[in-house]
Amino acid sequence: MFSLQGKVALVTGAAYGIGFAIAECYAKAGARVVFNCRSRAHLEQALEEYKAKGIEAKGYLCDVTDDRQVGDMVADIEKELGSVDILVNNAGIIKRIPMTEMSAEDFRQVIDIDLTAAFIVSKAVLPKMMEKKRGKIINICSMMSELGRETVSAYAAAKGGLKMLTRNIASEYGGYQIQCNGIGPGYIATPQTAPLRQKQPDGSRHPFDSFILAKTPAARWGTPEDLMGPALFLASEASDFVNGQILYVDGGILAYIGKQP
Ligand code: NAP
Ligand code: GCO
pLDDT at 163: 99
Running DSSP on this structure, what letter comes out for residue 224?
G
Atom number in ligand 2 closest to CA 156: 10
State the amino acid at position 243 in one-letter form: N
Name the phi and psi angles at 83, rounded to 5: -70, 160
248 is catalytic: no
pLDDT at 41: 98
Which of 20, 24, 38 has most ligand 1 atoms within 8 Å of its beta carbon, as the pocket-test mutant?
A: 38
Element (H, E) at 37: strand 32-37
Instruction: Identify the pLDDT of residue 218.
Output: 98
Q: How far, in Å, CA of 169 to CA of 156, rounded?
A: 20
Q: Is 155 in the pocket of ligand 2 (CB under 6 A)?
A: yes
Pocket mutation for ligand 2, best pick of 193, 206, 250 (most atoms within 8 Å of C-beta):
193
pTM as predicted: 0.98
Between CA 10 and CA 198 the distance in angstroms is: 32
**CA 124 to ligand 1 centroid distance, Å:** 20
pLDDT of residue 92: 98
For residue 31, the model assigns a pLDDT of 98
Please give the pLDDT value at position 105: 98
Dist CA 77 CA 57 (whole Å)? 12
CA dihedral of residues 27, 92, 73, 5 (deg, nearest 10): 20
User: Residues 109, 24, 124, 41: is their CA dihedral positive or negative?
Assistant: positive
Pocket, ligand 1, Cβ cutoff 6 A = 12-13, 15-19, 36-39, 42, 63-65, 90-93, 113, 140, 142, 185, 187-188, 190-193
CB 152 within 8 A of CB 102: no
The dihedrals phi and psi of 112, each to the nearest 5 degrees, come to -60, -45
Catalytic residue among 50, 60, 155, 248: 155
Give the distance (Å) from ligand 1 centre to CA of residue 178: 25
- If one residue of 18, 39, 247 were mutated to test the ligand 1 pocket, choosing by the most ligand atoms within 8 A of its CB, it would be 18
Mean pLDDT per 10-residue section of the chain, whose length is 261 residues: 98 98 98 98 98 98 98 98 99 98 98 99 99 99 98 99 99 98 98 97 97 97 98 98 99 96 90
Ligand with an atom nearest the CA of residue 196:
2
What pLDDT was estimated at residue 80?
Answer: 98
CA angle 190, 256, 107 (to 5 degrees): 50
